[in-house]
Structure 1
Amino acid sequence: MSGSIRRRKANVTNLVLSKSTSVMPAPAPAMYWSRPTVHGVLPHRLRAHSSVVVGDLMYVFGGTDSHGCLDTLYILELDTFKWMKPHVHGDDRPTPSRAHCAVVVTPQDTATISSTKIYVFGGGDANSYSNALHVLDTDSLVWSRPQTSGPTPCPRRAHSGFVWRGGLYIFAGGDGQRPLNDLHRLDLETMTWAIVDTTATTMAPRGYHSGTLVHDKFIVFGGSDGQECFGDVFILDLVTRRWSEVETGISAGLDFVPQRLSHAATNVGSYIFVTGGHNGKHYCNDLLLLNVANMAWETRKVYGIPPSPRGYHSMVLHDGRLFLFGGFDGKRFYDEIYVLDLSSSAYLPQITNFSIDTVLDTATTPPNDDV
């Protein structure tokens, strides 16, 4: 018996693995891009769609392909890379929509629901703009359109949204006539809309920005007013409702302050990871990190084959990996999934002991009478 074991070990030792020209070598602690093989019911090539994560599933809704706008729901199993096109129910389904926003609302966010839901607000198609709110129950896959009261935000596209302390917040975007920089809150208990009065903002109206919630701060980066591509960073303190413009720094290896629109941004611990987008001249495929502890832009060496330059894609975080889907480069629509394995950086989602307040103390804030 012992002899047979030794022989099997010797055979394994003598195996020579063939090299793959499609896989780049990388050190173990490095971040790495890969494009996994997917199966199932494959989605359309999409841009300006929405993607959110519930459990180990990524829900993709809407967007547009080369033929027009869609109202389709796709679900990707993030552990098996199986795509599904489920049968949805309900008489109040969203119309085909792009450049809307989608957020996850859990029973921890409001006592009025017993299952996790996805709230979809706004968007539109062609020359139409919407301010409709639709809700998908992730257990039953039933769409509904809840009754709300109060001053509903005007119809818009290219806005951002987030959930904080029992409220759904909608920020900025464009209504087809002008860019916006207003902020609205929907009370998830009473389903009442209200305009959020804030102080100290000289932020230019914009859409196709990124809005990222980090603790009790809402961080806005980039976007466009239809004329200019922005590279500024603003922070809203949700407790004091005060905006601050932050002068960002740059670290070694980065010689410019980035400008972006139609990019994707995701909070990973004390960083905001930014991928792709348009810089006012061309589409990009680089990875940028905004250190929210000191508000400095950083870059990292990333191995593997990155996504081609694109904007209007989506990106979500799950299990220490970032999942990028879809997008558009001015000519082509995309349907691939790219995965950024954070590797040794996977500890970043566990970092909670950092503060943005010290940065805000030195941030550039205009006086209240300038508002």
Structure 2
Amino acid sequence: MIPRMQWVQDNAGESNGTPPQPRSGHSTVSVGKSMLVVFGGLVDKRFLRDTIVFDTENKLWFEPECTGNESDGQAGPGPRAFHVAVAIDCNMFIFGGRSGRKRLGDFWMLDTDNWQWTELSGYGDLPPPRDFAAGASVGNQKLVMYGGWDGTKWLSDVYVLDTMSLEWIQLPITGPSPPPRCGHTATMVEKRLLIFGGRGGGGPIMGDLWALKGLFEEENESPAWTQLKLPGQAPAPRCGHTITYGGTQLLVFGGHGTGGWLTRYDIYYNDCIILDRASVQWKRLAINNEPPPARAYHSMTRIDSRFLLFGGYDGKSTFGDIWWLVPEDDPMAKTAPLSPRSHLSATKNSEQNQDSSFVDAKGTDKDFVSPLRELREKLALPVEAVPASEFNIHDESIDREFLSLAATLVPKEFDKNPEQGILVEALREYWKNSAASSIRLHELGPLLRDYHRLIYRLQGHGMLESMELHNKSNNSALQMHRFYHLKNANQLRMDDIPHLLNEYKQLLNLPLASNPPYPDQGSQFGIL
């Protein structure tokens, strides 16, 4: 059974020493049994080169005095972010990354027994320079690296390094393979390399999962990719996320995605989703309290039964906060408040413009005009404007578009002047019995606003404390509120409509959903 977990912010004396400064695009690897090594990163468009260590036994942050080969007059690699970092035994290997606009192709090793850097760039034929690649250790002697971005194209090559001979080999693979990508994750599970997510050719953000076999010579397997399509609540497509392997589960946290139908915008996630190897399916991890702010390009590292989150970027801010994700019976959990969630979205999404220092949105036209938007204009339907600040939820009595649409469903001979309550119930009953394919374009705005109303009222009655509602028909957890952050129907995509309608129907089936939280039917109320 997967235990419930709890977030604890490390600001109450859980560790000593000086933690790393805020950053994103850094690496954090677990070396030996008691050390986490943080290297590099980016903050305010400034690339970093420092090495910071967390001693997990003594709960102490410190910066070691490193020696060895120099770069720019200092020991160790030059400043960089979005590089590959892999730990094998007591050594941390660093390859590539980005510094300014330059993609790097140098290769370094840090021996943590004596804190000595050694440049290994002169050994063998190195892979081409790249950033946003991903790598993992293969047993205790090899490392594997997949994909990345070389400044002109996305990559799909696989390189394997033997750390004893320092020989790089590009793995020959036949058959189907993942689309080229960057910003993905690479995780070794038993004798398979799992690749998830990333940004691909043309700019789309992906949510596919692939497994690579043939990395262990003793298995006598030809290298080959297999796409895994698993049941359950799979993560939304994303890049810049982390996958942390622990026990029988792989934990997915955070990342960056895109949303919108008529206008495109960035989404940053703070959800926790696990790939449960026991049941071979995706599951939402049960969390007791408010998660950290949404982010991408952070690091997440496992220490026994705990997970340590550090840094990241949300499209506007670079984080330096440190969080622990611990089982609810962990002594550390007692220090964390069980605060109610301040937002109702299943993942708190930050909708910000992406910083130019991060992955360029290749193939994304900033002047993109949706065909649907043009269609709305040709039909003389209003194109909803996004308010400059937070949006408000209006009561049905002052939602004229909602009431006008409802009036078309009540026969005039039945009631020439139907009461508002009859109109509201008629429209909700109509949507409750409608298929997604029958929803017309001009219905989307009123439908989304009523969806907002229902969620707000249920929360006002204390019925939405959990971010997962349960489908009584099969007792399976149902993901809800994924569209609560949308300000208007212009941000919906065509394939969002069936999911929005399904969530709306589920909300209608809950008691008190259609009852306003206050007796004043004419008032307007804001989102918490």
Q: TM-score, normalised to structure 2's length?
A: 0.55
Q: Residue 322 of structure 1: SS of its match in structure 2?
A: strand
1:77 aligned partner, one-letter code: D
Alignment deviations for residues 46-94 of structure 1 (CA, whole Å, 9 cap, x no partner): 1000001122221100001115001001112234543212221123310
Partner of 2:85: 102
CA distance change for structure 1 residues 293 and 192 in 2, over 3 Å: closer, same or farther? same
Q: Distance in 1 between matches of 2:285 and 2:118?
A: 43
Cα distance change, pair 67–82 in 1 and its aligned pair in 2 (3 A): farther
Partner of residue 59 from structure 1, selected from 9, 30, 37: 37
Match of 1:283 in 2: 268
Q: 1:263 aligns with which of 232, 241, 257?
A: 241
Which residue of 30, 33, 48 corresponds with 2:25?
Answer: 48
Residue among 151, 171, 194 paired with 2:169: 194
CA distance in 2, matches of 1:270, 1:90: 39
Residue aligning to 1:233: 209
Give the whole-Å Cα distance in 2 for the aligned partners of 1:164 and 1:187. Answer: 9
Cα shift at 1:148: 4.9
Q: Does 1:312 align with 2:297?
A: yes
Counterpart contact for 2:294–2:314, Cα < 8 Å: yes
CA deviation after TM superposition for structure 1 residue 248, in Å: 2.0
- Which residue of the other structure, out of 144, 169, 172, is the alignment partner of 2:144? 169
Q: Is the 8 A contact 2:108 2:121 kept in 1?
A: no
1:130-172 deviation per Cα after TM superposition (whole angstroms, max 9, x unaligned): 1111111101111111255443110000111112142221111
Distance 1:183 1:295 in 2: 26
Amino acid at match of 2:272: L
CA contact (8 A) 2:86 2:92 kept: yes
Tell me, yes or no, if structure 1 residue 243 matches structure 2 residue 225: yes
RMSD: 2.0
Q: Closer, same or farther in 2 for the Cα pair 1:70/1:147, shift >3 Å?
A: closer
- Aligned partners of 2:16, 2:314: CA distance in 1, in Å? 24
Alpha-carbon distance in structure 2 between the residues aligned to 1:243 and 1:145: 32
CA distance in 2, matches of 1:272, 1:280: 23
Mapping for residues 1-371 of structure 1, pairs under 5 Å:
30-37=4-11, 38-54=15-31, 55-92=33-70, 93-106=76-89, 116-146=90-120, 148-165=122-139, 166-225=141-200, 227-237=203-213, 238-239=215-216, 240=221, 241-250=223-232, 254=233, 257-281=235-259, 282-342=267-327
The residue number in structure 2 matching 1:369 is: none
CA distance in 2, matches of 1:296, 1:223: 20
Task: State the one-letter code of the partner of 2:239.
Answer: L
For 2:147 and 2:69, locate their aligned partners in 1 and report how far apart those are by CA, in whole Å: 29
Deviation at 1:216, TM superposition (A): 0.3
**What's the CA shift for 1:210?**
0.9
Q: CA deviation at 1:333?
A: 0.5
The whole-number CA distance in structure 2 between the counterparts of 1:148 and 1:192 is 11
Rounded Cα–Cα distance in structure 1 between residues aligned with 2:174 and 2:192: 14
* SS of residue in 1 equivalent to 2:316: coil
For structure 2, which runs of at least 5 residues remain unmatched after alignment? 71-75, 260-266, 331-528
Give the C-alpha shift of residue 231 in structure 1: 0.6
Contact 2:22 2:318 in 1 (8 A): yes
Preserved CA contact (<8 Å) 2:106 2:121: no
The DSSP-based 3-state class of the residue aligned with 2:199 is coil
Shift of 1:316: 0.8
Residue equivalent to 1:112: none
Percent identical among aligned pairs is: 30
Q: Which structure has the greater CA radius of gyration?
A: 2
Whole-angstrom CA distance in 1 between matches of 2:278 and 2:127: 32
Supply the AA of the counterpart residue of 1:301.
Answer: A
Give yes or no for contact 2:104–2:129 (8 Å, CA) kept in 1: yes
Q: Is the 8 A contact 2:4 2:285 kept in 1?
A: no
Deviates more, 1:237-246 or 1:179-188: 237-246
Number of residue pairs the alignment of both structures matches = 305
Return the TM-score normalized by structure 1. Answer: 0.78
1:103 CA displacement: 1.0
* Structure 1 residues 70 and 150: alpha-carbon distance in aligned structure 2, compared to 1, 3 A threshold: same
Partner of 2:402: none
Structure 1 residue ranges, 4+ long, deviating more than 4 angstroms after superposition: none
AA aligned opposite 2:107: L
